Amino acid sequence: MPYKLLLSEEISPAIRRIGLEQLTKVRRELSSTQNMQAGVHKSRSCLKRFRSLLRLARPILGEDVFRKENKKHRDIARALAQPRQAGAMLETITKLENRDDFAQFRPLIVELKSLIQNEKKVTETELELISLSSLVTKIDASIERWKNRPLDDVSFESLAHGFAQTYDRGRESLMVAIEKDDNFYLHEWRKDVQQTWRHMQILTLIWPEDIMPRIRLAREVSRLLGTENDLSDIERFMKAHKKTLKKKKDVKALYKPFRSTLRTLCRDLSLHAVERGRRLYAFEAEALSNAMTIYWKTSRALQPMPAIVLELTDIDKTLEKKVHKPTTEPSNLKTAQMSDSQKPKLSALERMRAANASLKQKSNTTSIISISPEEPPFSPPEKNVETLKKSNFQPPKKEI
């Protein structure tokens, strides 16, 4: 089933279901021996989703249960972090290697790629020493605890409160990232952005038209910050292996220019992320959580529409497609060759739709503004950090 709260579900059973599904996926991926890197990546994603669920259900679980469960699964995720970090650096350096505008740095990139590949092998060996079977045992224990976890019947307001806590924390992290202007705080903010995005994933069905654009925006911010972090990791890796890289003359000459280029790219990425983050966190947490509660109550109260209502209001697009078939189909060609007296008579509803077809096409030409995930992140920004610092965007200070 999806990583979503279904409108037909009660809150407590839904929390149990979603948690068990993610933990079961973690166990399956860690038990597989086909592709360790892919398994580690998928396992970490499932663990992130499970920990996001913990934060969303924090008011329901209670503070003690939340902290214990969050710590246990954070430790499991950290055991898988190093191999994934090396894999992410390798993917990023490969992308840079294939770019024409980085052709001048190719000797250095090739040397870096070789060092990162060696690092990746070492981390994978360390992971094998940790023994994935021990992590599987811990996940088995988590599954049993989650199956037997007592969850009282609660209202949606409890989830809305958990959402508000995470959203408010993300707003504060954004302001800290702007003020400090440092990769560490950007990375911390990214964690909160991902929590907000996953909370909205769970709550998507309560009002998809409003929540889906927010999810797309949060994902875009997360991707920008993720790329910035990957480039920063490469720069730190270069610094740690400075002596090795400078042994070759052709590589030594490229060392400083390449690091400078990486810093410029990181600056551009962080500025674009902050600009979009201000849109994502434009609402106050309480106002948005109240809206989520209203969405839930109204969506649950919606009644299914009778067929005649769907037809008369033209909501049922499937029926409309059946009426307006392409003229190239054999059945329509045969009908077109008939005389007027032989053609089947249209109903009043079909005649009305045919008469209004052209008007519908004109009304549907209105452009829709959307954020493209493929928008190039490396275009030069129009704002700088000082401008963002002087903005009047001041979220309330709260402790989570």
Domain boundaries of the chain, sorted by first residue? 7-154, 157-302+383-400, 309-356
- pTM (global) more than 0.95: no
Look at residue 154 in the predicted model and tell me its pLDDT.
86
Summarised one tens digit per residue, pLDDT across range 71-122 is 999 998 888 877 677 778 888 999 998 888 899 999 999 999 988 888 877 7
Split at pLDDT 50, 70, 90, the class of 357 is low
Split at pLDDT 50, 70, 90, the class of 163 is very high
Q: Name the residue among 179, 190, 267 with its Cα closest to residue 231.
A: 267
What mean pLDDT is predicted for residues 201-210?
93
Spatial contact of 229 and 235, defined as CB atoms under 8 Å apart: no
Token pair for 43: 């396992």
Look at residue 345 in the predicted model and tell me its pLDDT.
54
pLDDT at 191 over 70: yes
What mean pLDDT is predicted for residues 207-213?
93
Q: Name the residue among 373, 375, 378 with its Cα closest to residue 220.
A: 373
Q: Name the residue among 142, 170, 140, 157 with its Cα closest to residue 57.
A: 157
Cα–Cα distances in angstroms (integers) from residue 325 to residues 48, 320, 355, in the given order: 46, 9, 15
Q: Give every CB contact of residue 65 below 8 A, 6+ residues apart in sequence.
A: 149
174 or 40: which leads in pLDDT: 174
What mean pLDDT is predicted for residues 199-228?
94
What mean pLDDT is predicted for residues 12-16?
93
Summarised one tens digit per residue, pLDDT across range 293-302 is 999 999 988 8
What mean pLDDT is predicted for residues 49-72?
94
pLDDT at 161 over 90: yes
Q: How far is residue 46's CA from residue 309's CA, in Å, rounded to a whole number? A: 42
Split at pLDDT 50, 70, 90, the class of 171 is very high
pLDDT at 12 over 80: yes
Look at residue 166 in the predicted model and tell me its pLDDT.
95
Split at pLDDT 50, 70, 90, the class of 375 is very low
Split at pLDDT 50, 70, 90, the class of 288 is very high
Summarised one tens digit per residue, pLDDT across range 237-269 is 999 999 888 888 888 999 999 999 999 999 999
How would you write the chain as a 3-class SS string?
A: CCCCCCCCCCHHHHHHHHHHHHHHHHHHHHHCCCCHHHHHHHHHHHHHHHHHHHHHCHHHHCHHHHHHHHHHHHHHHHHCHHHHHHHHHHHHHHHHHCCHHHHHHHHHHHHHHHHHHHHHHHHHHHHHHHCHHHHHHHHHHHHHHHHHCCCCCCCHHHHHHHHHHHHHHHHHHHHHHHHHCCHHHHHHHHHHHHHHHHHHHHCHHHCHHHHHHHHHHHHHHHHHHHHHHHHHHHHHHHHHCHHHHCCCHHHHHHHHHHHHHHHHHHHHHHHHHHHHHHHHCCCCHHHHHHHHHHHHHHHHHCCCCCHHHHHHCCCCHHHHHHHCCCCCCHHHHHHHHCCCCCCCCCCHHHHHHHHHHHHHHHHCCCCCCCCCCCCCCCCCCCCCHHHHHCCCCCCCCCCC
Look at residue 30 in the predicted model and tell me its pLDDT.
85
Look at residue 310 in the predicted model and tell me its pLDDT.
77
User: What average pLDDT is seen over the chain?
Assistant: 80
Look at residue 303 in the predicted model and tell me its pLDDT.
76
Summarised one tens digit per residue, pLDDT across range 304-352 is 778 887 778 776 555 444 444 444 444 444 444 455 555 555 554 455 4
369 or 42: which leads in pLDDT: 42
Percent of the chain whose predicted confidence (pLDDT) is above 90? 51
pLDDT at 197 over 90: yes
Look at residue 124 in the predicted model and tell me its pLDDT.
66
Q: How far is residue 222's CA from residue 270's CA, in Å, rounded to a whole number? A: 10
Spatial contact of 277 and 173, defined as CB atoms under 8 Å apart: no
What mean pLDDT is predicted for residues 170-177?
96
Cα angle 186, 165, 377 (rounded to 5 degrees) comes to 30
